[in-house]
Amino acid sequence: MASVGHACPAPMKPTSNGVFQGDSPLDFALPLAILQICLVILLTRGLAFILRPLRQPRVIAEITGGILLGPSALGRSERFLQAVFPPKSQTVLDTLANLGLIFFMFLVGLELDPKSLRQTGKKALGIAIAGISLPFALGIGSSFLLRETISKGVDSRSFLVFMGVALSITAFPVLARILAELKLLTADVGRMAMSAAAVNDVAAWILLALAVALSGSGQSSLVPVWVFLSGCVFVICLTLLVPPTFKWMARQCHEGEPVEETYVCATLAAVLAAGFITDAIGIHAMFGAFVVGVLVPKEGPFASALVEKVEDLVSGIFLPLYFVSSGLKTNIATIQGLQSWGLLALVILTACLGKIVGTFVVSLSFKVPLREALALGILMNTKGLVELIVLNIGKDRKVLNDQVFAIMVLMAVVTTFMTTPLVMAVYKPARRARVADYKHRTVERKNSKAQFRILACFHSARNIPSTINLLEALRGIQKSEGLCVYALHLMELSERSSAILMVHKARRNGLPFWNRGRQSNPNHIVVAFEAFQQLSRVSVRPMTAISSMSDMHEDICTTAESKRAAIIILPFHKHQRLDGSLETTRSDFRWVNQRVLKHAPCSVGILIDRGLGGTTQVSASNVSYTITVLFFGGRDDREALACGARMAEHPGISFIVIRFLLAADTIGNTVLSEFKLKTSHRDGSVRYEERLVRNTTETIAVIREVSRCNLLLVGRMPDGELALALSTRSDCPELGPVGSLLTSLEFSTASVLVIQQYSDRVSMNLASELEEDSPDKGSDLSN
């Protein structure tokens, strides 16, 4: 039956018969939904690209894009609104948006580890409590003022709680993104902020559930009590039933094998069923999904497989519709007059005051330094999608009117937007002073018995066996202070919301990433490094660097300086195929390597891996390698010789030095003379040869002849006429003339370590070469 005075819009049919039969696609649900999705994706991704130089999280672009599509901007045109977002499409749009929200909340729960929450220290817990309680109290205070002015007639209890929750929220995923952009994830202030935000997140959801329970239709005062009690029973039942089921599923999923589709489908069905139950209780369907996500076990490949299968579809297709749905409800034009704009300023000031001052004071009481305490307060003031969820529920339940809703959305955008610039102004840890006692920046050194520190970088498990076998060769068994290895896992900070999963790995940065108390650990990377540490008696300190490809080199160079490494070992950007040829793994890693070569505070080695020692780690007693140094002359070749001399001490290594001389060249070499003197007492495991050559052809012939070994050590930029003759333009300037030559299968099937020795003066030739070859014409190299 039609309502009096209003005509109900006719329901939309799903698909059209096509324009040739007189149907407009915009009058049908499916083509209109497709247009809406495409439009919001184009707009939000475009805004994210524009805001990227300002280092703003993507959620700012998404919220802004939703507002621009609504009645605040483009939606002011009645023609646009009726064509693209007509009222009759609102039900379909909101249904898809809430479906995306259900699975997004499942992912949020999946990323929260209850075990890590229980291990939260007193300092982070105190900061979290202060970051909730004071803003909540100020939110309640501001609600009284709003009710007296622009929000008259609403239910006082619900409005009071919703305002308190809206001001006390800290967006955990958005905070992780900001910390990663500012390279604070592994700093003390970053770890503390993440721990406090995790506690804050859980507390906010509990408070929101309470607010939803209170915001009923008002039929009976007992309804909120029944809703709250039913919600508690639901959580208790899930806590008893869900973990054993998911643990059994997780045990059936083995590392390195695909997760069965049956388990994934069963999990997604459980998410939807939980959402149905909580919606029937009277709490939003997303709460059920969130609880299921929290209860899924985080160990093993099962949780990560769920994230991979669900996230891209949800964040790329469904979730953007939620921002449109919010934007269509946000009309900034409702904020009119001095009073309304004054209330907006008051709400922003109250939100900032509560979070920043509350966190700042409590942090100082825990003896956190002044700048760190202030940065913590600013970081805890981050809002995001969670804030929008709270506001939308309040709007749908008639707790927030149009004007209050618009004010609160703008508050969320402003407080999040100002986080990055304020933290950068207050807290600048990147400008660290040069390490005073950083003496040994090269492998070549006078005191050969000093501790040898290596920063070994790797992208994935593919790099591990050869890297460990190279470290075993470099162990230098005669050195009194031995070898110290910092194993740095290079992880890209992607735009996915599950970048938060990487935060958990980074929180223990610099500490062992294996747990000695556990009998088994499925992570074979962990097992490999633990075995190397125990069997070779080498100090191994695993670390994680999480950053975008454009500034990953900064993390590598900063880590090398802080750990006083003598050499950085980087994997080449190509890997070996089954036929022996090299295939590009990812070209972005090439630009990372080039930038490290320019900015490194120590020597750098790039490892071209052709299976050094095979595909598994070789124990010290089974090492049997032939290693050859190609010596032309110059600083880089001396560094390669120094590396080789260290490897020559290993009993399982046969070492050969090939010195290239022009037929007319009879000049001796001091470094080579010292090397021959030091190794003269050895048995036949060390050999020195001089090869007289007259031109490039003979040089290449000798290189091809002596390349039948396990590992070749070459300098990146050798000196002399011979090396100059080889310096034809190559597609890999980071390898130099000899290294580039050895990437070709016709010259060698051996692994190659190309070495650049550290120098106080950065070579202008190196800078110009890399700038010419860089995809952005050197823009990143000139920083």
Q: Please give the radius of gyration of the chain, using alpha carbons only, rounded to the nearest integer.
A: 31
Specify the higher pLDDT residue, 403 or 308. Answer: 403
- Give SS3 for 270: helix
Q: Tell me what percent of the residues of the chain surpass a pLDDT of 90.
A: 27
State mean pLDDT over 365-385.
89
Is pLDDT of 255 > 90? no
Residue 434 and residue 446 in contact, taking contact as beta carbons nearer than 8 Å: no
- Give SS3 for 149: helix
Q: Are strands 567-571 and 452-458 parallel, antiparallel or unpaired?
A: parallel
Is pLDDT of 434 > 60? no
Q: Are strands 711-715 and 625-631 parallel, antiparallel or unpaired?
A: parallel
Residue 43 and residue 51 in contact, taking contact as beta carbons nearer than 8 Å: no
Q: How far apart are the first and last CA of the chain?
A: 69
pLDDT (tens digit, 9 = 90+) per residue, 17-70? Answer: 888 888 888 889 999 999 999 999 999 999 988 998 888 888 899 899 999 999
In degrees and rounded to multiples of 5, residue 584 shows phi and psi of -65, 125
The pLDDT confidence band at residue 137, using thresholds 50, 70 and 90, is very high
Specify the higher pLDDT residue, 341 or 429. Answer: 341
- Per-residue pLDDT, 621: 63
pLDDT (tens digit, 9 = 90+) per residue, 310-321? Answer: 888 888 888 888
Nearest of 474, 468, 457, 434 to residue 543 by alpha carbon:
457
- Which DSSP state fits 608? E
Residue positions counted in the chain: 783
- Per-residue pLDDT, 432: 45
Burial status of residue 247 (CB atoms within 10 A of its CB: 0-12, 13-18, 19 or more): middle
The pLDDT confidence band at residue 361, using thresholds 50, 70 and 90, is very high
> Which tokens belong to 647?
């490897």
Residue found under tokens 């036949």: 684
Residue found under tokens 């902020």: 193
Residue found under tokens 């650990």: 521
- Per-residue pLDDT, 730: 64
Cα 450 to chain centroid distance, Å, stands at 36
- Per-residue pLDDT, 507: 44
Is pLDDT of 513 > 80? no
pLDDT (tens digit, 9 = 90+) per residue, 638-696? Answer: 999 999 888 888 888 888 999 888 765 555 566 676 766 666 555 667 888 888 888 88
Alpha helices in 380-488 (DSSP H): 385-396, 402-417, 419-426, 464-473
DSSP string, 273-329: HHHHHHHHHTS-HHHHHHHHHHHS--SSHHHHHHHHHHHHHIIIIIHHHHHHHHHHH
pLDDT (tens digit, 9 = 90+) per residue, 63-90? Answer: 999 999 999 999 889 899 899 999 889 8
Burial per residue of 504-521, b for 16 or more beta-carbon CB atoms within 10 angstroms, e otherwise: bbbbebeeebbeeeeeeb
The pLDDT confidence band at residue 499, using thresholds 50, 70 and 90, is very low
Alpha helices in 571-614 (DSSP H): 588-599
State mean pLDDT over 357-373.
91
Residue found under tokens 């929101």: 208
State mean pLDDT over 447-472.
84
How far apart CA 720 and CA 701 sit, in angstroms, is 18
State mean pLDDT over 412-429.
87
Is pLDDT of 291 > 60? yes
State mean pLDDT over 257-267.
86
- Count of beta carbons in the 10 Å neighbourhood of residue 581: 11
Is pLDDT of 555 > 90? no
- Count of beta carbons in the 10 Å neighbourhood of residue 68: 16
- Per-residue pLDDT, 237: 94
State mean pLDDT over 250-266.
82
> Which tokens belong to 275?
């959402």
Q: Which amino acid is at 465?
A: P
SS (H, E, C) 688-756: EEEEEECCHHHHHHHHHHHCCCCEEEEECCCCCHHHHHHCCCCCCHHHHHHHHHHCCCCCCCCEEEEEE
- Per-residue pLDDT, 755: 95
The pLDDT confidence band at residue 473, using thresholds 50, 70 and 90, is confident
- Give SS3 for 463: helix
The pLDDT confidence band at residue 518, using thresholds 50, 70 and 90, is very low
How far apart CA 514 and CA 250 sit, in angstroms, is 20
Which residues lie closer than 8 Å to 558 by C-beta, 6 or more apart? Answer: 430, 432
Burial status of residue 186 (CB atoms within 10 A of its CB: 0-12, 13-18, 19 or more): buried
- Per-residue pLDDT, 515: 33
Alpha helices in 563-669 (DSSP H): 588-599, 635-647
Nearest of 623, 618, 569, 359 to residue 458 by alpha carbon:
569
Which range among 475-479, 506-510, 708-712, 719-723 has the greatest average pLDDT?
708-712
- Per-residue pLDDT, 677: 61
Is pLDDT of 371 > 60? yes
State mean pLDDT over 107-120.
77
Residue 442 and residue 564 in contact, taking contact as beta carbons nearer than 8 Å: no
Q: How much is the pTM?
A: 0.75
**Average pLDDT over the chain, rounded to an integer:** 81
pLDDT (tens digit, 9 = 90+) per residue, 157-205? Answer: 888 888 999 998 888 778 877 887 787 876 778 888 888 888 888 888 8
- Count of beta carbons in the 10 Å neighbourhood of residue 768: 13
Give bridge partners of residue 756 from the DSSP assignment: 604
Which residues lie closer than 8 Å to 7 by C-beta, 6 or more apart? Answer: none
- Give SS3 for 660: strand
What is the helix (H) or strand (E) element at residue 229, kind and residue range? helix 223-252
The pLDDT confidence band at residue 478, using thresholds 50, 70 and 90, is low
Residue 631 and residue 672 in contact, taking contact as beta carbons nearer than 8 Å: yes
How far apart CA 409 and CA 413 sit, in angstroms, is 6
Residue 626 and residue 707 in contact, taking contact as beta carbons nearer than 8 Å: no
- Per-residue pLDDT, 1: 43
